[in-house]
Structure formats: structure tokens, C-alpha cells
Amino acid sequence: MLAILLILSKFLDESVEEVYASHVLEHIGTQLVENVLKEIFRILKQGGIFYVSVPDLEVLTKLFLAEPEGLNKIKLMKMIYGGQIDKHDFHYVGFWRDFLYALIKQAGFTSYKKVNFFNIFHDTSSLNIHGTPISLNVICIK
């Protein structure tokens, strides 16, 4: 997943107005996430928007613990660890609100807010299980 840093490095400083990342950051390790977020901050124009959505580990673990044995519990486990259908479908890091906020601040963002979903188009930011939203969605402004 170092390829993502290579791709971001090709963008000029403050050259992008918006970046959208829904359910992708969990596929890279914690150290790499820190660098990716810093790169996204670097390429965003002043006032630019970063839409970030990740599976909410707190919500998923509560649902997992409350679920009786069966296929739904397996589905929840795959939401936590990735579907693992190929070498890219693994989750290397779990996110919860305070952890994601700390990473966002560390990258340089000072303005950010949690939202229920992005309402841009149908995406994983509105994903729910048993009527419970499972995504942690944050809009960050540079």
C-alpha cells in the first residue's frame, strides 16, 4: 500500500479542492495512515475538504458482542478484519472517534466534524447493520 503515498506525492502542494476516502484507510497500517493523512493535508488547497469514512470499531465490537452465534456474527467479524477475499481485503487498523481525531489533528487539520453520512452519493459512509450505522464519517477542512 505504499503505492498510495507514491500517487499522492505526484500532486503539487495545495492543488486539490476535495479528497474522498470511504472505507480505504483501514486497509493500510497505522504508520502509513499517519503519512497518508499528512499528504492529503499537503495537497488540499486552503479551505479544501477531506471526506473520510472508516468502519467504527467501537460500534462494530458492540454489535459483535451482542450478536448470537451465526452468519451475522461472521459478517460482523469480516467488517472488523476485512472480507479477506484477496490479498488487499484485510483491515490492518481499527478506528474509533478519538483515535481518528488524533490522527486528523496530527496531520494538521484543525476544523473537522463527525457527520452521519456524506450524502454525496450512495457509498459506504451510509452502511448499516441491523439499522445501526457502522461508519465513522468525518469532514475535515483545511
pLDDT digits (tens, 9 = 90+) for 50-94: 999 999 999 999 999 998 888 889 999 999 999 999 988 899 999
24-to-4, 38, 50, 76 alpha-carbon distances in Å: 11, 16, 13, 17
What domains can you pick out in the chain, each with its CATH number?
Answer: 15-141 (3.40.50.150)
Q: Which residues contact 97 (CB under 8 A, 6 or more apart)?
A: 56, 58, 114, 136
Q: What is the pLDDT of residue 2?
A: 64
Position 5 confidence tier, pLDDT thresholds 50, 70, 90: confident
Q: What is the pLDDT of residue 72?
A: 87
Report, as an integer, the average pLDDT of 100-107.
97
